[in-house]
């Protein structure tokens, strides 16, 4: 972590803590702030993150998939250690598997590693325009679409390559596919009574529900919920989308 990151973290911690403690504890907080600024551990953590991501975009040795939630989390680190083509290829792959109603898959994997005949497991989605991979969608989740929009935003802001929005993926531009992913949430995941989006009641990063043996599919036993995470992710995605899109008529004003 660079010195500006440490300063921001320390200042934020100090500001937050000062609001909760009396003035006579201020000196103790300054000591903690000083310790954070002098701690080299975060520098090593940052180095380790870059080392790990340089080995690939999948989630780890035990997982062959590239998941959009994860990729959105570390895309900027990946950009530091990977060529631009690797990053855009990953983003494009998610768009290749976009559903007819605009939904975005959870993750994709080399088709040679996918167990396409696994009964009771993932129901893989194939794409004629991206035949090297198989993809799947955990329908209990409602953060795939927003994660991809955020990832595109981070890529463009860091690279400066706004022309990426005009990239054509399977007959549609990235910009068009981003719009369709938001429309999917508005059309299929919106609770009109509250004006917020819904998902299943889940645990473990929000992708496993207790009512289903596999845990990742909405069915007749699902208990739906309106959770802070999904809706916060939507707010961020809407803000990111509006910042990227030049056409005022396409800007999203939230749920409609």
| pLDDT digit string, tens, across residues 130-182 | 999 999 999 999 999 999 999 999 999 999 999 999 999 999 999 999 999 99
Q: Which residue pairs, CB below 8 angstroms and at least 24 apart, start in 133-137?
A: 133/93, 133/96, 133/97, 133/108, 133/109, 134/108, 134/109, 135/93, 135/94, 135/97, 135/105, 135/106, 135/107, 135/108, 135/109, 136/105, 136/106, 136/107, 136/108, 137/99, 137/103, 137/104, 137/105, 137/106
pLDDT of the residue at 256:
43
Q: Report the C-alpha gap between 50 and 30 in whole angstroms.
A: 31
pTM (predicted TM-score): 0.83
State the pLDDT at residue 23. 59
Give the pLDDT band of residue 122 (cuts 50, 70, 90): confident
pLDDT recorded at residue 36: 85
* Mean pLDDT rounded to a whole number for the chain: 88
- Taking CA atoms, 99 is separated from 56, 105, 106, in Å, by 26, 8, 12
Range in 115-119, 140-144, 235-239 the model is least confident about:
115-119
Do 79 and 159 touch, CB atoms closer than 8 A? yes
Rounded average pLDDT over 113-137: 91
Distances, alpha carbon 176 to alpha carbons 98, 119, 142, 208, in Å: 12, 35, 20, 31
Q: Give Cα 164 to chain centroid, integer Å.
A: 18
Q: How far is CA 166 from CA 34, 173, 178, in A?
A: 47, 5, 11
Distance (Å, whole) CA 176 – CA 167: 10
pLDDT at 6 over 90: no
Query: How confident is the model over 179-225, as pLDDT tens digits?
Result: 999 999 999 999 999 999 999 998 876 678 888 777 888 989 899 99
**SS3 state of residue 109:** strand
How confident is the model over 27-62, as pLDDT tens digits?
Answer: 888 888 888 888 888 889 999 999 999 999 998 777
> What pLDDT does residue 197 have?
97
């Amino acid at each position: 972590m660079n010195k500006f990151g440490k300063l921001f973290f320390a200042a934020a911690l100090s500001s937050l803590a000062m609001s909760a403690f009396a003035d006579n504890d201020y000196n103790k907080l300054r000591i903690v702030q000083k310790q954070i600024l002098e701690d080299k551990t975060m520098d090593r953590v940052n180095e380790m993150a870059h080392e790990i991501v340089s080995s690939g975009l999948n989630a780890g040795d035990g997982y062959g998939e590239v998941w959009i939630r994860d990729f959105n989390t570390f895309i900027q680190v990946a950009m530091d250690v990977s060529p631009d083509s690797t990053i855009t290829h990953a983003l494009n792959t998610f768009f290749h598997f976009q559903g007819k109603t605009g939904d975005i898959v959870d993750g994709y994997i080399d088709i040679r590693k996918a167990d396409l005949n696994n009964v009771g497991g993932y129901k893989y989605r194939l794409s004629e325009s991206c035949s090297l991979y198989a993809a799947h969608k955990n329908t209990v989740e409602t953060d795939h679409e927003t994660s991809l929009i955020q990832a595109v935003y981070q890529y463009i802001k860091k690279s400066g390559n706004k022309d990426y929005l005009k990239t054509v993926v399977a007959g549609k531009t990235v910009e068009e596919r981003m719009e369709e992913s938001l429309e999917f949430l508005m059309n299929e995941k919106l609770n009109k009574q509250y004006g917020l989006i819904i998902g299943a009641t889940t645990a473990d990063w929000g992708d496993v529900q207790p009512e289903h043996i596999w845990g990742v599919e909405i069915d007749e036993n699902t208990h739906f919920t309106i959770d802070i995470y999904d809706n916060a992710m939507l707010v961020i995605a809407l803000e990111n989308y509006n910042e990227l899109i030049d056409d005022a008529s396409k800007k999203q004003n939230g749920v409609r």
